[in-house]
Amino acid sequence: MGFSIFFDPVEERLIQSLENEDTLGGQVWVNTKGLDQWKEADIAIFGIDEYRGNGGFNSTNSGLAELRKSFYSLSRLSRDIKVYDLGNIKPGQDLEESYNRVSEVTNLLMENNVIPVLIGGSHDLDIGFISGLANHKQDSRVGIIDSKIDLKSISGGNLPVDSHLSKIFMNDSLSVAGFSIMGYQSYLQDSSSVGLMEKLCFEHYRLGQLRDNFEAMEPVIRDLDLLSMDLNAIRMQDFPSGVKPFPFGLTGEEFVRLCWYAGNNGFRKGIGFFGYDQSRDKMDQGTNLLAVSIWYYLEGVASGKDHHHPAIDPDNFNQFKVTLDGKGGVIEFYKSNYQDKWWVKVPVSGQQKDKNPKDIFISCLQKDYQTALNGELPERWVQAQAWF
């Protein structure tokens, strides 16, 4: 594939004044003339101005120039990771071609162990993003942060941005093992969508649930391969630049913290930020928040490069066995010797044992271990048995 033909490079004049050794502008490689070293990167950032899936309004993101100015002016990352700004994907002749371009680029980056960071466009572009992941890795897990669960019917005149999850769920070739939906708001949601999530044994957390037990989102995100984030999940007060903002939602601080969780996940494959409309911005408030969110994701990657997992290096973990009196069986917990992070083993039997011959672990909190010690079954452990 001619990789470079998909991209418009970044305007060189935008970078020249920002190439300071103390800022990201002096740390990030930028495609101004050609994509010659992208395979050497740890992370590749790229944008796309594609909003036909949201009704086709005219985007004024101007190639995400304002976002790049804010982003490049931020401080350097704490560790020297290689970040490449590829520029912007050229939208296709139609929406399906744009999906395919995002899929091809995402897949090629992953095949070369480069983490894709996609910015801009409406949320239905995660059809291409998730397709690129599925071509790279079978039985992956995807996280969605959104103010609503976009499960409207594909037919009936619904916009792709409102029905993209329906299209993804119905596509068996995507081979996605599970979804975790976080931050949706009840007043925007019909009960049938929530019922379908429960029927499919997919995790779903209302905004209130997320906020009441925020630290529980860290292990949920730690188990993901890809995180797709609709910026409309952030409240209008903090992020006025959403395509369809709402008065309630995540605070800017909460959103940034979720981004750091996602970057610090040692097995992440990529992240997408969707629904940015620069024309709605006020004094660069939304632009600056998005720039900082991306920075925290990168900083999470930089600070969490040396990760461990009990399925890969069990000698680097302490094992804790809890016998469940009256309930039968033993639950095995594992704590990293290097980080304050916990996992729990999920028992697999029958036909699933043939499909998953290796031990399966899910991320958890120390609180889940304490729950088991008190004779109760940790909720995520119970739900995970339905997944597998």
What's the maximum distance between 2 C-alpha atoms anywhere in the chain? 70
Closest Cα partner for 258 from 339, 353, 318, 182?
182
Please state the three-class secondary structure of 138-191 as a single string: CCEEEEEECCCCCCCCCCCCCCHHHHHHHHHHCCHHHCEEEEEEEEECHHHCCH
User: Is residue 241 left, alpha or beta, with left meaning phi > 0 and alpha meaning psi from -120 to 50?
Assistant: alpha
User: Which pLDDT does position 353 carry in this prediction?
Assistant: 57
Q: Is the pLDDT of residue 156 over 80?
A: no
Residues 6+ apart with CB under 8 A from 26: 18, 19, 20, 76
**CATH 3.40.30.10: does it fit domain 3-303?**
no
- Helix, strand, or coil here: 357? coil
Cα(143)–Cα(179) distance, rounded to whole angstroms? 6
User: Average pLDDT, stretch 144-164?
Assistant: 91
The sign one gets for the Cα dihedral 361, 364, 366, 367 is: negative
User: Encoding tokens for residue 319?
Assistant: 């094992």
User: Encoding tokens for residue 234?
Assistant: 């952030």
Across the chain, mean pLDDT equals 89
Could you tell me if 36 and 144 are in contact, meaning their C-beta atoms sit under 8 angstroms apart? no
User: Which pLDDT does position 151 carry in this prediction?
Assistant: 92
User: Which pLDDT does position 134 carry in this prediction?
Assistant: 87
53-62, 208-217, 264-273, 275-284: least confident range:
53-62
Q: For 172-228, what is each residue's pLDDT tens digit? A: 888 788 899 999 999 998 888 999 998 888 999 999 999 999 999 999 999 999 999
Cα(205)–Cα(53) distance, rounded to whole angstroms? 25
Q: For 81-113, what is each residue's pLDDT tens digit? A: 999 999 999 999 999 999 999 999 999 999 999
- Helix, strand, or coil here: 230? strand
Residue-by-residue DSSP string for 281-297: -STTHHHHHHHHHHHHH
What is the DSSP code (8-state) at residue 83? E
Cβ atoms within 10 Å of 55's Cβ, excluding its own: 11
As annotated, the residues of the chain forming the CATH 3.40.800.10 domain(s) are: 3-303
Give the amino acid at 341: K
User: Which pLDDT does position 354 carry in this prediction?
Assistant: 57
**Alpha helices by DSSP H, 274-356:** 285-303, 351-355
Give the amino acid at 300: G
- Sheet of 330-336, strands arranged across: 317-323, 330-336, 342-346, 360-364
Could you tell me if 180 and 220 are in contact, meaning their C-beta atoms sit under 8 angstroms apart? yes
End-to-end CA distance of the chain, in Å?
36
Q: For 311-364, what is each residue's pLDDT tens digit? A: 888 899 999 999 987 666 899 999 999 888 999 999 876 555 555 556 789 999
Q: Is the pLDDT of residue 60 over 60?
A: no
